[in-house]
Amino acid sequence: MDEDIIREHLNNVKQPQECPGCHSQIPSFETNEVGNFWCPVCGLLGRSALVIQIVKIPEGPAPEEVRKAWVGLKFLAEINQLEEPEADFTTGDMLFRGKTYMVPKDIALEVLEKKFPGAADWFRLNYPSRIKHLTFGSDEVELVTVMHIFDPQISNPILEN
């Protein structure tokens, strides 16, 4: 999936016109360079989250039947901005996969457990506990939509001063 397509999709998504925190009617939310946005009235922070669907058997050291289990599942994900080589957790070999999408490991395995418990068990037994995310290559996923997530527990520090 091309980064320009994602950027275009994000730009075409209409931001909410009413803040869910203070219910102020505002023309648009303020945004920063990493895609977070906030209400200029109350400071409620939000961010855009990508919803991806796995459409191709992911690469990796897991047996093929375990990797096949991911196909069709949907997750909230973030683009891995680093685009650095990853270590194969079974051999330690460095692999360059290009742009990847990160999904929190615990959430991914919970979803996988519902479809294929055996595949989830394989990851729980073999995937290092220190690694907190699973990654999927840009050619293995399809962008489904973009969601806007607001966190009422966090306010914008710029507005607190």
Quick: pLDDT tens for 78-117. 887 666 767 666 666 777 777 888 899 999 999 999 999 9
Quick: pLDDT tens for 5-63. 445 544 554 555 677 777 777 656 666 655 677 777 887 777 777 899 999 999 888 99
What is the radius of gyration, based on Cα positions, of the chain? Answer: 18
SS (H, E, C) the chain: CCHHHHHHHHHHCCCCCECCCCCCECCCCEECCCCEEECCCCCEEEEEEEEEEECCCCCCCCCHHHHHCCCCCEEEEEECCCCCCEECCCCCCEECCCCEEEEEHHHHHHHHHHHCHHHHHHHHHHCCCCCCEEEEECCCEEEEEEEEEEEEEEECHHHHC
- The residue-averaged pLDDT of 141-160 equals 66
At residue 151, the pLDDT reads 65
At residue 83, the pLDDT reads 67
Residue 157 has pLDDT above 50, yes or no: no
| pTM to 2 decimal places | 0.69
Closest CA relative to residue 131, chosen from 106, 161, 160: 106
Residue 158 has pLDDT above 50, yes or no: no
At residue 156, the pLDDT reads 43
Which residues partner with 50 through β-bridges?
Answer: 77, 146
